[in-house]
Amino acid sequence: MRMATTVPVMMYHHVTPQGGMINASPEHFEQHLQWLKRHGWTSLTTEQFVGHLQGQGVPRKSVLITFDDGYLDNYVYAYPLLKKYGFNAVIFVVTSWVNDGPVRLHAGQGEVPECPDHRECEARIAAGRSDEVILRWSEIRAMQHEGVFEFHSHTHTHTRWDLGELRAQKNDKMRWELAQSRQSLIDNLGSVSDQFCWPQGYFDPDYVQIAQQAGFRYLYTTRAFGSNQPGTDPLHIYRFAVRDTSGASVGRRLNVAVHPLIGPIFNRWKAWRRRQRQK
């Protein structure tokens, strides 16, 4: 069997019918999974992905599917589709947003709860109404038990402490974030892993050191233009954002990512374009 030289990491946030910002519709998300299935791709667990980074072989067409924040729509729409096509995924969850309560209905079970767009989710979270748009611990445990989703830290409050009046305290605030998130995962799921995703994609050398001191060894970014190969720095894992687009379009992006010649050229070109826009 040919082994993967590069494993792309796909980054989602929402799967909701109305579309919008950082969202894929259920129809498009199903197309993504159909494309993966039809073309013989395998979804990895984080343990398998770590093995890849350490030089242990994984199938040539391997991908890691990730979701950020822990929105209710991940359970309502993404979960049943992942089960249908036999794929697994990862959710990096913001632990202070998660509440207790009974499991709600997901697609295929009857009338499902409202799953608003990203800006409305942000507004409700800010208003103290996160239970309306975020997963409950009961739903997290149910999906984890099924082996469809695994759950890892995305901090406790998802705050950019490097901005605003408290930025001088950002390192202490991040230490608190990581400690609270770890404890919440232990209290509610029984354990915490060494996988961590930066809130809003921000990190700096201080934050990386703090995360390592807190026990996190694999740090996921929102930076798209690089390759996750054996020997890649586990403190800087690349992910690319998946848009509300067709399965064929996502397939083209994956094929570019794993191509030994085109992939590096594409990454350098996209990184150069981004630098030009920032000048």
The C-alpha angle 239, 242, 248, rounded to 5 degrees, equals 120
Q: Do 201 and 180 touch, CB atoms closer than 8 A? A: no
pLDDT digits (tens, 9 = 90+) for 223-268: 999 999 999 999 999 999 999 999 999 999 999 999 999 999 999 9
- Establish if 3 belongs to a structural domain: no
- Establish if 34 belongs to a structural domain: yes
Q: pLDDT value at position 277?
A: 86
Residues 93 and 166: their CA atoms lie apart, in Å, by 24
Structural tokens at position 246? 């067709």
Structural tokens at position 25? 């519709």
pLDDT band at 276 (very low <50, low <70, confident <90, very high): confident
- Establish if 223 belongs to a structural domain: yes
Structural tokens at position 42? 């395998």
> How many other C-beta atoms lie within 10 A of the C-beta of residue 275?
9
Q: Rounded mean pLDDT of 176-192?
A: 98
Q: pLDDT value at position 271?
A: 87
- Establish if 164 belongs to a structural domain: yes
Residues 256 and 262: their CA atoms lie apart, in Å, by 6
Q: Answer whether residue 279 shows pLDDT above 90.
A: no
Structural tokens at position 160? 């950019």
- Establish if 236 belongs to a structural domain: yes
Residues 276 and 265: their CA atoms lie apart, in Å, by 17
> What's the CATH code of the domain at 19?
3.20.20.370
Helix (H) or strand (E) holding 46, with range, is helix 46-53
- Establish if 4 belongs to a structural domain: no
- Establish if 67 belongs to a structural domain: yes
Burial 76-94 (b: 16+ CB within 10 A, else e): bbbbbbbbeeebbbbbbbb
pLDDT digits (tens, 9 = 90+) for 51-77: 999 999 999 999 999 999 999 999 999
- Establish if 1 belongs to a structural domain: no
Q: Answer whether residue 168 shows pLDDT above 90.
A: yes
Domain span at 219: 9-278
Q: pLDDT value at position 19?
A: 75
Name the region of 254 (left: φ>0; alpha: ψ -120 to 50; beta: rest). Answer: alpha
278 against 106, higher pLDDT = 106
Helix (H) or strand (E) holding 143, with range, is helix 137-146
Taking alpha carbons only, the member of 77, 206, 89 closest to residue 152 is 89
Q: Looking at the 3D structure of the chain, how many domains does it have?
A: 1
Q: Rounded mean pLDDT of 184-207?
A: 98
